Amino acid sequence: MYRNQICSHSFCHDCTSKHIAAKIQENIKTVLCPGEDCKAALDFDACRQIIPKEVIVQWDEFLCKSMIPKSQIIYCPFRDCSAMLVNDSGEIIEEINCPACKRSICARCRVPWHVEFTCKEFMRLGGKKRGKENMLVEELAKKKSWRKCPECEIYVEKTEGCSHITCRCGHEFCYRCGLKWVKFHSGCNLAQGQGFNSQLPPHPHSMNWDLFL
């Protein structure tokens, strides 16, 4: 049995391990005790002995990432990569090569590198002139009712569960209205038929979502 020293709640190792793994998958930085209404946090070091190595690695990486200021984080815009890049130089960087997929991206505009335009010119362009791929993604986003994370501007698709979204960048928001998620979030003004589903399939414990450019 695992016993949380902060609240004294006890759970079997398997249940505790699965609880931690699920929270890490949801990008939740502080993993709370699985006890009902318990607000005590689980201690990372104390849990090392009971959780699988891969979960330890994921939790450790997530804790490290959570210490990096969001303003320094850039995600590779290519859907088949999405690697996290960190700019801690304090300088404004434009063209860079993603170290994971080796493709050129614009760190300032957060898109694949726009060869023919400066960043200012690119931001002034209409959707069609920004490239066929970007235009198709935007059209598909409208058709599929995808939401853009207000924090990192990555497209998120939620297929089931409630409207609470936790993006991979850690930002929590409402899938229906796009506003920052608060504990008692309710009363969205966005009605069904205005571009986003007001009622998702009733699977409150599911968090199936994908990330796109």
Q: Is residue 50 within 8 Å of residue 2, measured between CB atoms? A: yes
pLDDT tens for residues 31-87?
899 888 899 988 888 888 888 888 888 888 777 777 888 788 888 888 778 888 888
- Compute CA distances 34 → 42, 45, 177, 183, 206, whole Å: 9, 17, 29, 18, 17
pLDDT of 177 reads 84
Pull the structure tokens for residue 92: 């404004």
- pTM exceeding the 0.85 threshold for the entire prediction: no
* Residue 132 counted as domain residue: no
Identify the domain containing residue 187 by its residue range: 144-213
Length of the chain: 213
> Is residue 83 domain-shared with residue 36, that is, in the same domain?
no
Helix intervals (H) in 67-158: 119-124, 132-144
Residue 190 lies in a domain: yes
Q: State the pLDDT at residue 101.
A: 92
Quote the pLDDT of residue 135: 63
Q: Within this chain, do residues 16 and 33 fall inside the same structural domain, yes or no? A: yes
The answer on 62 and 81 residing in a single domain is no
User: What are residue 73's phi and psi, to 5 degrees?
Assistant: -95, 130
Q: Quick check: helix, strand or coil at residue 22?
A: helix
Rg of the chain taking only CA atoms, in angstroms: 20
Q: Please return the burial class of 173, using the count of CB atoms within 10 Å of its CB with bins 0-12, 13-18 and 19+.
A: buried
CATH code for the domain of 28: 3.30.40.10
Distance between CA atoms of residues 45 and 126, nearest Å: 51
- The answer to whether position 136 is within a domain reads no
Q: Are residues 152 and 211 in the same domain?
A: yes
pLDDT averaged per 10 residues in sequence order, the chain, 213 residues: 85 88 80 89 84 82 79 82 82 87 88 82 64 62 79 75 79 85 65 41 35 39
Number of domains in the chain: 3
Q: Is 135 among the domain residues? A: no
What would the two tokens of residue 36 be? 């009902």
> Is residue 102 in a domain?
yes
- Cα dihedral sign for 200, 204, 206, 211? positive
CA dist list (Å): 167 to 102, 124, 151: 24, 28, 9
Question: Does 59 share its domain with 75?
Answer: no
Q: What is the pLDDT of residue 115?
A: 78
The reply to whether 160 falls in a domain is yes
**What span, in angstroms and rounded, lies between the C-alpha atoms of 182 and 188?**
12
